[in-house]
Amino acid sequence: DAGVIQSPRHEVTEMGQEVTLRCKPISGHNSLFWYRQTMMRGLELLIYFNNNVPIDDSGMPEDRFSAKMPNASFSTLKIQPSEPRDSAVYFCASSLWHRNTEAFFGQGTRLTVV
């Protein structure tokens, strides 16, 4: 398996533009997580899904952020409109929905909003 695949790896956009980050989880995994990492705040959990349903989105910073999981093999995180303070590395992770298992992380998308 190729692991969790995120795209793009790098994104530079202007303030006010819409940004869409993509994630393909590991086949067979039914849990998906989106994280954001900055120097100031570390790794923050934004949202997680179980069987394509959002379970907890309490980490989503504001209404400009939205996440979808239309099927078991694809998820998106959208920021509209983007702001410079959204600049961060965004990670997607997947796992089996089971307490005693591990989560696998993608390589991340480095977003820069100028």
Q: Which residues have CB under 8 Å from 60's CB, separation 6+?
A: 46, 47, 66, 67
CB of 63 to other proteins, least distance (A): 21
CB of 92 to other proteins, least distance (A): 9
Tell me the three state secondary structure of residue 80: coil
Beta strands 109-113 and 74-79 are: unpaired
CB nearer other proteins, residue 51 or residue 80: 51
CB nearer other proteins, residue 37 or residue 81: 37
CB nearer other proteins, residue 42 or residue 70: 42
**45 and 103 in contact (C-beta within 8 Å)?**
no
CB of 78 to other proteins, least distance (A): 20
